[in-house]
Structure 1
Amino acid sequence: MRSRFRQLKRIYREHFQQKFKFHSQLTTQFSKLQSCNSVTSHKTLIPIINLQARNSEFLFLGRIETAQLVHSLANSDEKSEFQRYPGDEIAINVQNILKTCSVSTKGEIEKALNQCELTLTDDLIVNVINRYRFDWEAAYTFFKWVSREGDYSPGSNVFNAILDVLGRARRFVELIQVFDEMPDLVNEKTYGILLNRYAAAHMVEEAIGVFDRRKEFGELDDLSAFQNLLLWLCRYKHVEVAETFFESEKNEFGYDIKTMNIILNGWCVLGNVYEAKRFWKDIIKSKCEPDSVTYATFVNALTKKGKLGTALRLFQAMWEKGRKPDVVTCNCIIDALCFKKRIPEALEVLREMKNRGCLPNVTTYNSLIKHLCKIKRMETVYEYLNEMEQKNGSCLPNEITFNYLLKSLKKPEEVPWVLERMERNGCKMSTDTYNVILKLYVNWDCEDKVRHTWEEMEKKGMGPDQRSYTVMIHGLYDKGRLEDALSYFHEMRLKGMVPEPRTGILVNDMNIKLKERGEQGKKVIKLTSLGLKGNA
């Protein structure tokens, strides 16, 4: 049994090394991964902990208690300590088995899982599924195995987790099969997941069908369910459908400012100021009193379309008419002024906010930091960062703040400092942050750090997602590594991810170049052979 489990790990390691094609050998982290059956006297999986190795290089599978977590850093001195828990350890062991999905049969995977003798709980299963939210096949393989275990029945959290993964990958045949297995477990969260994933896949009729069946999802508030449907339709640019449906249902739901704000925001996000103005007038005619969200939404639409003058006049009129702009509206104005490089005016709005009792928040400072980073005013950036940390509360720097700082870096040695400060402020790593770091290391030709970043994303269940593959494909293309770029593209497609249009264009270009390169190689070989014959 142990030899079979080691074989699965060896297959994955060889596949991993081949994919990255790094010159340096991987560490012995996989050999340090304990066999699931290493403690045969216990029914549950108890990871073996090497406490003396606590300060050594971070192991791929992690450790209980205090462990060394490398935030996408290759060097052993670039570390920070985080808390690890037994549940995470078990989930990581399962994760390492599932990583062989692309190179092993389902029967082999299930055999290895059976040998683990896991004590199944909803928390453990959701933990594993969430680690594979960007790899539906691995998540679904695990879920199907779990579903066949006789002593365990998955709860609603487990079903919702796998529905979200399948919906994200647009595997709706499997999604419907899973949904049909949970008639007594559907709830409000299930409803939201189905709306989100159908709308994201532009399956509008199916999304509306879910709304029509809302009574099956428990005691849902009808108005809230209606607003959720409109929200997801607008989120994925089906604003016209959302407004038409709103009009068809207004006799049942009436006019509500929150509902109308959703439609207004949909037109604004699309950048259709004409339709936004028309719907604004509809709001006024409906006798619904516009609230601060309505004004903020419309101001944001004007600024995004470059109509900053009109937005500023509306903003000033709000003050004059006693409609005190909230922090969201003020942030829209500050961001627009910064975008136009009118930073002194943006700072004046910030001062006016404070004087009028409208306190700034982290978004306010992020707008300033984003644009100051672009014009390389780093001294001012760090002054604002210090101010945010001192104010604490709603001004405390967040993931977005540090992503802007990371994007402004010029060399790899600066990354640890930003990550250390990020940790000090209680910010957790996200998929977006990993992707920012991944792009930096690809651009800097830091292959070892790219590997560590990718490795850690997988281990933490933070990816790789579509953006991660896009970064690698485009980065490797720019470096002239066409075969490697295409390898990532094929892996991305195997996971069911839909590439961006620009990536599709790039892939076509790579195929043409490789074909030309192959034909040129044949010509060289032919000419060389002719030359050898001539010399003979």
Structure 2
Amino acid sequence: MARQILHQRCLSTFLFRRTISTAAADTLRNSTTIAPIPSPPEPHNSNPRTRTPLVKQFETWLENLKPGFTPYDVDEALRSQSDPDLAFDIFRWTGQQRNYKHNSTTYLTMIQIAVSGKRYQHAETLVEEILAGACSGSIPLYNSVIKFCCGRKFLFNRAFDVYKKMLTCEDTKPNLETYKLLLDSLLRKFHNVNVCYVYLRGVKSLSKQMKASGVVPDTFAMNMIIKAHAKCHEIDQAVRVFRDMALYGNVPNLYTYCYLIHGLCEKGRVDEGLGFYKEMREKGLVPKGSSFMILICSLAMEQRFEDSISVVFDMLNESMSPDLLTYKTVVEGLCREGRVDDAFDVLEEFRKKDGFMNEKTYKILLNGLHYMN
């Protein structure tokens, strides 16, 4: 008898959320004509031919979830649902049953289902419940919540609320993934120099806390710290972090050197930027096009044209082409130094080497040299 009551209660809840009954639809269609004669409600039709696929799915779940179910059983039931709304109904109904309470596993599964199904409002509600202490936390659960909050602009502060909650729990201290998620979310805020300085304090705080808690950063985490300092023109600190990479057994990669080259050139320390460029080339790493061009322009502006031209040819050998401004900085810089013949010769060499230079770009550069001459 209890089983039948449970069945009817779940089914009625599901049908109320999903469909409009046929009797209600008929009443709505006939309301403008003849009022129907009231009649008692028909009993539930258990004929499988008249049940919808969603009702069958709900009933199947009901059969599988036996009385006295555990969080493990609920987790299996949630994962078996293809409909995120149905999964949320299951999650809510089970949470209201006596002698049962959701744990970190079921909350984690439900958040993952809600986010993947783009039910962001459900996910936001679950986040608030977790912060309120609805379940015992776990590192995977908190990291999942932080990742979701970092992806939503208006939940940015909530991510750090979760981080603070992790710090207060002995069993859920932040790990490397936690710090990388938070560092990445801060770096997305680095739109201009003024904003960079505001959020750089957060990067420094996370870096200190990571070291204090004994979390060993990897290359990705240290690259983000280097990028944050380089963006804010705190290049000495960026280089210091670069030197510390060896202490943690991390190997600098392409992005490490590119962040340093950009920061050093923007700070006017071109010679050091060229040194890091040569170091990365010796390791077989190829800079990004933007790193090539900022180094070329910086060298040309300091009248170091031989080094600048050498980097241009290096870039061309990697099947990358400088933009018009970079070319103009080099060839017109030679003209300003009185090396007009060298400028024309170099332009012809660039044209031969650069398969991407079109006729329009070549004529603009050539006309600019004639005008300056």
With normalisation by structure 1, the TM-score equals 0.33
Greater relative contact order (CA < 8 Å, ≥ 6 in sequence): 1
Q: Which has the larger radius of gyration?
A: 2
